[in-house]
Structure 1
Amino acid sequence: MYRRPELEVKWQNLSRTDYQVTSPKSQEYNCFAWAAAENDRWWQPIPGEQFYWPEGVPQEETIAAYIQAYKTLGYEICQGDGLEVGYEKIAIYIDSSGIPTHAARQLANGKWTSKLGWLEDIEHELDGLTGDRYGVVAQILKRAVN
């Protein structure tokens, strides 16, 4: 586990927060899949065999469609990003035009885990990825864990 200055150039808030790289690069999955705890397919609402999107969810890049996609896994809208015992959370980031750009999943230690496109997975603080590239956190979702 380590830091990478190259990541701090792309996500400038990382340099001001506590983060660490937790996996090697991979093109097998993206952040939306990783937030759903999957690392074997690419979640994207685009028709085609190379992408996965939950059945019955509109194939559109809107916050409503992404929320609905995660609802198929038992997630519900919630207000706070703080750690809650018995729950796991997902944060959905949007850009200035409202298009979802990224998703992160909260870990049991209260930090967040993200897949950075085709790059590595990192453990980070929630605001470490806000900024020009991913925008802001628009919605937090949670589901009970056993």
Structure 2
Amino acid sequence: MYRRPDLEIKWPKLSRSGYQVTSPKSEEYNCFAWAVEENDRWWQPIPGEQFYWPDGVPQEETLEAYVQAYLTLGYERAGNEILETGYQKIAIYVDLDGIPTHAARQLPNGKWTSKLGWLEDIEHELDGLTGEMYGTVAQILKRPF
């Protein structure tokens, strides 16, 4: 586990909040898949064989479509990001236009794990990725373990 100064340039809050790289780079999966513990496909609401999207969920890049996608896996809307015994939480980030840009999963220690596009997975504080690249956290979801 290590740190990468180039990540701190893209996400300046990482260096202030603390993080560590936890996996090598991979193009097999993205943050939206990693949030639900999948590392073998790329979740995106775009038609095509190279992408996965749950059946019956609108194929659109809106917060509501992403929420609906996660609801198919047993998640429900949560009121906050505070660690709750017996629940796994995910956070969906959106840009200024409300378009989903990123998702992170809460770890049992209260920190969060993220897949950074085609880059590595990291362990971080929730606000460590807020800012120009990913925007802000717009929705927290949770499901029982």
Q: In the TM superposition, what whole-angstrom CA distance separates every residue of 1:119-140 from its partner, at most 9, and x where no partner exists?
A: 0000000000000000000000
Aligned equivalents of 1:8, 1:17: Cα separation in 2: 11
What secondary structure, in the 3-state scheme, does the structure 2 residue paired with 1:104 have?
A: strand
Which structure 1 residue ranges, 5 or more long, are not aligned? none
5 Å matches for 1:43-82? Answer: 43-82=43-82
Distance 2:61 2:43 in 1: 11
TM superposition outliers: structure 1 runs of 4+ over 3 Å: none
Match of 1:138, SS state, is strand
Give 1:20-99 correspondences, 5 Å limit.
Answer: 20-99=20-99
Secondary structure at 1:7 match in 2? helix
Structure 2: stretches of 5+ with no match in the other structure? none
* Equivalent-residue separation in structure 2 for 1:79 and 1:103 (angstroms): 16
TM (norm. structure 1) is 0.99
CA distance in structure 2 between the aligned counterparts of 1:82 and 1:125, rounded to whole angstroms: 12
Which residue number in structure 1 is paired with residue 124 of structure 2?
A: 124
1:116 and 1:83 map into 2 onto residues whose CA distance is 22
Deviates more, 1:95-104 or 1:9-18: 9-18
**Structure 1 Cα separation of the partners of residues 99 and 36 of structure 2:** 19
2:99 matches 1:113: no
Q: How many residues were matched structurally?
A: 145
- SS at 2:56 equivalent: coil
CA–CA separation in structure 1 for the residues paired with 2:67 and 2:88: 15
Say what the alpha-carbon RMSD is for the aligned residues: 0.4
In the superposition, the TM-score normalised over structure 2's length comes to: 0.99
Question: One-letter code of the match for 2:63?
Answer: I
In the aligned structure 1, how far is the partner of 2:81 from the partner of 2:22? Answer: 22
